[in-house]
Amino acid sequence: MPRADSDTAFAPLPGFRLLPGFLDAAQQRELMAQVQAVLEDAPPYHATMPKSGQKMSVAMSNAGALGWYTDKDGGYRYVAQHPKTGRPWPAIPGIARDVWRAVTSDAPAPEACLINLYRGAAKMGLHQDRDEADFAAPVVSISLGDEAMFRLGGTSRKESTRSFKLSSGDVLVLGGAARLAFHGIDRVLPGTSRLVPGGGRINLTLRRVT
């Protein structure tokens, strides 16, 4: 991790793991093809923030039994159907399931795979993944496409943060004490990969919900 953003010493919480280059180039291409098939059936959309109704800059879709969703009136939650098509979410891509099995020990299979598509100036503010019923299983994140600056903190917004680069094929695990760590994407570095058709970055976030 290249730099801290304050004079306070920064150490990731136990349970945080960054696995650079976990997927090789061929695996990335195959996973990208699987994700494209998902997005053809469940097109990306821009969800809106609770209360304010502000549109998120990141386009998203989901795969799995459940999909993460938010809108002005209902807030953050999981739903079983695509909010625009009304169809059930497609199955989680096989390579993504393989990654989950490889980096988690005895965690049950993931129920949700949030697909975030970053293009242009899209970013993701600091947040916790805490809309699940149980935090025992880790959150597993897979990066595809353009590099991005990822920011990691502690379990309080007041704690110091650190930013570091995520590249295509990297896998990140938030488990244990790090399961509720604040994190986000400061910016994407355009043109650093040709993997995603049309450019940009795709992030797959695998989660156990129930």
For the chain, 210 residues long, the average pLDDT of each consecutive 10-residue run is: 49 93 98 98 95 92 97 93 97 98 94 97 95 96 98 94 96 97 97 97 97
Using alpha carbons only, give the angle 5, 59, 205 rounded to the nearest 5 degrees: 65
- Report the pLDDT value the prediction gives residue 1, as an integer from 0 to 100: 40
Domain residue limits, the chain: 3-207
pLDDT recorded at residue 8: 53
pLDDT at 209: 97
**What pLDDT does residue 6 have?**
46
> What pLDDT score was predicted for residue 11?
80
CA distance 64 to 90: 6
| Residue 2: predicted pLDDT | 38
Positions at the binding site for substrate: 68, 76-78, 131, 157
Domain 3-207 in CATH: superfamily? Alpha-ketoglutarate-dependent dioxygenase AlkB-like (2.60.120.590)
Q: Which of 64, 68, 20, 13 is nearest to 179 (CA)?
A: 13
User: What pLDDT is attached to residue 192?
Assistant: 98
Q: Which residues are annotated as a binding site for 2-oxoglutarate?
A: 116-118, 201-207
Q: Please give the model's pTM, rounded to 2 decimal places.
A: 0.93
Who contacts 85 (Cβ-Cβ below 8 Å, separation ≥6)? 42, 43
Q: d(Cα 4, Cα 206) in Å, to the nearest integer?
A: 27
- Residue numbering of the annotated binding site: 68, 76-78, 116-118, 127, 129, 131, 157, 183, 201-207
Which residues sit in the known binding site for Fe cation?
127, 129, 183
Length of the chain: 210
